[in-house]
Amino acid sequence: MTGFPSILSSTNAKSHPMNNFDYMAWVIIPILIFIARLMDVSLATVRQILIMKGMRKLVPIIAFASSGMHRS
């Protein structure tokens, strides 16, 4: 095998740019932020609909859940 270039020795696994990619910062956290904002806006919309329909007893429960999301 001295005459053939080795594929494994020519590529250094440590120098590949995807090995140092920070998935937590660029993928996981943005997805979690998107889901949290989606839930926040959905709860606010449901709360407004319940206020308009006169179901004022459920509104404080939804407001409490929404404020709990803002604190975490």
Per-residue pLDDT tens over the stretch 31-67: 999 999 999 999 999 999 999 999 999 999 999 988 8
Res 64: pLDDT: 92
| Full-model pTM | 0.66
Q: What is the Cα gyration radius of the chain?
A: 25
Return the residue matching tokens 């660029």. Answer: 26
Q: Which amino acid is at 5?
A: P
Nearest alpha carbon to residue 62 among 48, 35, 71, 32: 48
Res 4: pLDDT: 56
Res 67: pLDDT: 87
How far apart are the C-alpha atoms of 50 and 55, rounded to whole Å? 5
